[in-house]
């Protein structure tokens, strides 16, 4: 799937930066002279699904929506406007605004039925909280925050009633919308704009106490100094995606990425629906180790990462003790996601009892040369 992110809309006020155009959800005629539908159709022809970024709860003061519907904007009329990311929040307590936000999504799907994904962003909080709609209705302003959220739920209920199966990402920098109630309507959420892979190991570890992997978006980006293998291995513990320019990758990186994606499709159901066991806490050791086991306890995936590179020693001098297996079953262990030209130090011909692996364990041999090791455990 290819996702078209921010910047595709706005004509009177083109969305060339984050200071204009938000709220005017019509394709920019210069950027997309043939319309969004042309891109969707061309992607579909080549077997690629097409997704789109929107932020329908928000508005730039420099927009046609702001000019035409100032009363739809949450702002205190007697005070200077305060902006975050040059934008303001629309008043979802107002049914007209609810209709507008629903219409943004509905129009996209009406015109482009093949549209396969929505990235719903939310990049501002409410400043100078005041609703003209609540004032006109004689409702106390203290109701604004509660009624806003109820208004958002109403919009999402309408969207899900009409489009029940379309995947939608709940996006907000800093994980500001890791929200159980909203996850009734969204298929996944964005934990943070910080995609540096070492930071993500700690972040994903902590998020795992509250949210399952199937709703956690983990993307490979250019943040950090770690090699591509490390970044993909870390991002594979959830909904894997790529925010990189593939054409700029080396040939070996491209080969590895293709193989890693193929491997991911083979084990993702275990990560998404299996049981998670936290084996080695990165806050307490030089490595992190996490393990996902399928319900039948016949197959598992173990992720091992070096998180402390300050000491020039082998990080795993002791085995990592596994968990969640059947003590009576026999298992083979194979290293996957090997980078082109490298060889595993794990003997895949060995057979272990589940009891042995859960009492003694196996050493993944994480070192400064092997900073991420992914192991496939399979019943023999």
Q: Which helix H or strand E contains 289, and what residues bound it?
A: strand 287-293
Residues 20 and 113 in one domain: yes
Final residue belonging to a domain, choices 273, 301, 318: 273
Measured CA to CA, the distance from residue 135 to residue 82 in angstroms comes to 20
Q: Are 171 and 124 in contact (CB under 8 A)?
A: no
DSSP H helices, 180-227, are 197-207
Residues 126 and 172 in one domain: yes
Residues 287 and 189 in one domain: no
Nearest residue to 56 via CA among 131, 106, 126, 114: 106
Residues 44 and 21 in one domain: yes
Q: In total, how many domains does the chain have? A: 2
Residues 236 and 183 in one domain: yes
Percent helix, strand and coil across the chain, each to the nearest 5: 35, 20, 45
Residues 243 and 281 in one domain: no
DSSP H helices, the chain, are 35-45, 64-68, 95-111, 132-137, 144-162, 197-207, 228-235, 251-273, 354-359
Measured CA to CA, the distance from residue 11 to residue 27 in angstroms comes to 7
- Which DSSP state fits 311? S
CATH number of the domain where residue 294 is located: 2.60.40.1180
Measured CA to CA, the distance from residue 380 to residue 378 in angstroms comes to 6
Q: Quick one: CA torsion of 364, 365, 370, 372, rounded to 10 degrees?
A: 20
- Terminal Cα-to-Cα distance of the chain (whole angstroms): 35
**SS3 state of residue 284:** coil
Final residue belonging to a domain, choices 273, 293, 325: 273
Q: Domain of residue 231: give its range.
A: 2-273
Number of C-beta neighbours around residue 332 at 10 A: 15
Residues 306 and 186 in one domain: no
pLDDT tens by residue, 297-326: 999 999 999 998 776 666 688 899 999 999
Reading across the β-sheet that carries 188-189, which strands appear in turn?
2-4, 50-54, 117-120, 168-170, 188-189
Q: DSSP secondary structure string, 318-363? A: SPBP--SS-TTSEEEEEEESPPTT----S-TT-EEEHHHHHHT-B-
Final residue belonging to a domain, choices 223, 244, 273: 273
pLDDT at 178: 86
pLDDT at 67: 98
Residues 261 and 280 in one domain: no
pLDDT at 320: 97
Residues 231 and 283 in one domain: no
Residue numbers of the chain with a pLDDT score lower than 50: none
Residues 93 and 184 in one domain: yes
pLDDT tens by residue, 160-182: 999 999 999 999 977 888 889 99
CATH number of the domain where residue 173 is located: 3.20.20.70
Residues 116 and 245 in one domain: yes
- The residues assigned a catalytic role are 121, 193
Helix 228-235 to helix 251-273 angle (10° resolution) is 20
State the pTM of this model: 0.93
Residues 263 and 316 in one domain: no
């Amino acid at each position: 799937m290819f996702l078209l992110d921010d910047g595709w809309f706005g004509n009177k006020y083109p969305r060339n930066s984050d200071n204009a155009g938000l709220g005017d959800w019509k394709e920019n005629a210069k950027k997309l002279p043939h319309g969004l539908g042309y891109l969707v159709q061309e992607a579909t022809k080549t077997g690629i699904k097409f997704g789109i970024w929107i932020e329908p709860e928000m508005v730039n003061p420099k927009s046609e929506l702001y000019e035409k519907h100032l009363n739809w904007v949450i702002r205190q009329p007697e005070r200077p406007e305060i902006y975050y990311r040059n934008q303001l929040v629309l008043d979802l307590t107002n049914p007209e605004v609810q209709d507008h936000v629903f219409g943004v999504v509905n129009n996209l799907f009406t015109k482009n039925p093949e549209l396969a994904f929505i990235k719903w962003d939310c990049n501002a909080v409410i400043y100078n909280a005041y609703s003209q709609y609540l004032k006109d209705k004689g409702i106390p302003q203290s109701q604004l925050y509660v009624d806003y959220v109820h208004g958002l739920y109403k919009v999402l209920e309408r969207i899900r009633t009409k489009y029940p199966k379309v995947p939608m990402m709940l996006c907000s920098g800093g994980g500001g919308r890791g929200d159980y109630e909203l996850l009734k309507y969204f298929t996944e959420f964005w934990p943070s704009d910080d995609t540096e892979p070492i930071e993500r190991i700690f972040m994903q570890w902590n998020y795992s106490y509250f949210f399952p992997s199937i709703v956690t978006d983990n993307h490979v980006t250019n943040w950090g100094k770690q090699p591509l293998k490390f970044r993909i291995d870390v991002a594979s513990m959830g909904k894997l995606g790529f925010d990189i320019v593939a054409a700029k990758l080396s040939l070996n990186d491209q080969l590895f990425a293709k193989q890693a994606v193929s491997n991911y499709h083979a084990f993702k159901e275990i990560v998404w629906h299996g049981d998670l066991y936290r084996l080695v806490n990165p806050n307490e050791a030089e490595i992190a180790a996490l393990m996902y086991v399928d319900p039948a306890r016949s197959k598992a995936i173990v992720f091992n990462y070096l998180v402390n590179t300050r000491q020039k020693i082998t990080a795993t001098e002791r085995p990592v003790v596994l968990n969640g297996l059947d003590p009576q079953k026999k298992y083979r262990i194979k290293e996957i996601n090997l980078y082109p030209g490298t060889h595993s130090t794990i003997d895949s011909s060995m057979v272990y009892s589940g009891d042995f692996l859960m009492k003694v364990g196996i050493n993944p041999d994480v070192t400064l040369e092997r900073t991420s090791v992914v192991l496939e455990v399979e019943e023999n």
